Homo-oligomer: A and B are copies of this chain.
Amino acid sequence: MTGSDSPDPKDGDGARPRARGLARPGRQDWSAWPEYDAAAEGFRGYWYPVTWSSHVTGKPLAVKVCGEKIALVRDGGRAYALHDRCPHRGVPLSLGDQQFPGTLSCPYHGWTYRLNDGQLCAVITDGPESRICGKVTVRTYPVEERLGMVWVFVPIANEEPHPIDSQLPEELVENQFVMGGRMQERSGNWRFAAENGFDEGHAKYLHRTSMWRMFKPMPTWNITKIVPGGRWIYRVQEEVHWDADFPGVGRWSNKRWWKLQPPKETFNIGNTGKPKKINPVIAKCDFPGFASLSMPGVLRIVYPNFIHYEFYVPVDADNHRYVGVMINFTEGWKAAGFYVKYLGAIRWLFHGQFTGQDAWMVDVTDAPPEKLYRPDVSLTAWRGLAQDEFAKKKAAAGAK
């Protein structure tokens, strides 16, 4: 039995956005990215979507993110997030309810916390002069609402959060858009989900049987490089091969009579033929490549008529929350057309069967150890990005 423990330094030469031999094939462990290796429960210091806004009401809701248990409750139209543990006896505050405006009470003894700062402001069973009031606090988390979702900031230390808009994909901050989406808790570590999302290699093979692929012909193999651009890294295809003859093994192609045939001339956007007219916001996101990734695990796939985003939210070391969103930068009558298309097809074919195949693989991936190959330059570039950005963020949080 042999293994490629002697790496070939020429492999993966095309794309090395960072040093540290990220694309060294045959690598077994993740020691080149120590922060990434340690982030089984996610990178703290970021905003994460935890549920739909409509699910946060006056009745508390328990969620988990980065291994932390959080109680969400809405009061006066605003959403609040508290650490979901009463310091008195450890009972989850999400089992309680609101006895007074602007507060949440523990179900056991009526310890009552202010939603805006977590301070114990009344203890019903200890009377108005309770001496413990003001001496106990539950941790609160900054909350924002964007894209119809509640986002929570999980700090590294006690640092102030950065503005959520500086973390959202830029095009979602200033433009009008319509959207459809799905949110699911899935088994498997969030890093496998993020790596799967940006992974150059698998889409052409794993998804060959998905109905979604009827409308989007896929090559057999590509030569790809990774190009950094602002907060994002982009997958850029240098060569696209529709068929291949594998020596001593046989011929393989993704082409089928029931799928769309490959375009004569491939346009950047998703290997598709050049469309007649492209929304300028979408066109901008397509350069230099149609697939891009940014911290803390946000994938952007540009299609001619919409953009698909995936947010990989750490729940704990064994589970993640998959948030898939399809967005079009349009308004008025055209918005109605988008919803028809989304609800009639995209939701089922793409956010259903197609990403279900991804969920299957994320669940069974088991690495390290691992052996990387040329297309895994997309994985190693992402790990390098995550390593560097988080190291900077950690240093900044510690300095405050």
Contacts and interface: CB of A to CB of B under 8 A. Distances in A.
Contact of A127 (B26, B85, B220, B370): B220
Interface in A104-145: 107-112, 118, 121-128, 130-132, 135-137, 139
Interface string A248-266: 1110100000000000000
Nearest to A361: B108
Given A1-B137, A89-B365, A135-B3, A121 B248 contact: yes
A226 to B, nearest CB: 16
Contacts of A205: 107-110, 124-125
A353 to B, nearest CB: 15
A201 B131 CA distance: 15
A238 interface: no
Interface in A81-105: 85, 87-92, 95, 99-101, 103
7 contacts: A3-B136, A100-B246, A107-B361, A112-B249, A122-B246, A124-B220, A126-B221
A124 B365 contact: no
Given A109-B205, A202-B109, A247-B128, A1 B158 contact: yes
Specify which of A101, A204, A249 lies most central, judged by the most chain B CB atoms within 10 Å of its CB. Answer: A249
Contact of A252 (B3, B25, B124): B124
Contact of A90 (B4, B249, B366): B366
A374 interface: yes
A118 B374 contact: no
Contacts of A139: 1
Contacts of A111: 373
A118 B11 CA distance: 22
A125 B204 contact: yes
A249 B85 contact: no
Contacts of A128: 244-247
A371 interface: yes
Nearest to A364: B91
A367 interface: yes
Complex copy number for this chain? 3
A264 B223 CA distance: 85
Contacts of A365: 89-91, 108
B135 A26 contact: yes
A25 B90 CA distance: 15
Interface string A3-28: 11000101100000000000001100
Interface string A316-337: 0000000000000000000000
Contacts of A371: 87-88, 132, 136
Specify which of A25, A89, A158 lies most central, judged by the most chain B CB atoms within 10 Å of its CB. Answer: A89
A391 interface: no
A126 B128 CA distance: 71
A124 B88 contact: no
Given A90-B367, A112-B249, A125-B202, A135 B374 contact: no
Specify which of A101, A126, A252, A371 lies most central, judged by the most chain B CB atoms within 10 Å of its CB. Answer: A126
Contacts of A373: 88, 109, 111, 123, 126, 130, 132
B136 A374 contact: no
Given A2-B135, A364-B95, A366-B85, A125 B201 contact: yes
Nearest to A371: B87
Contact of A126 (B108, B124, B375): B375
Contacts of A107: 205-206, 361
Nearest to A223: B127
A241 interface: yes
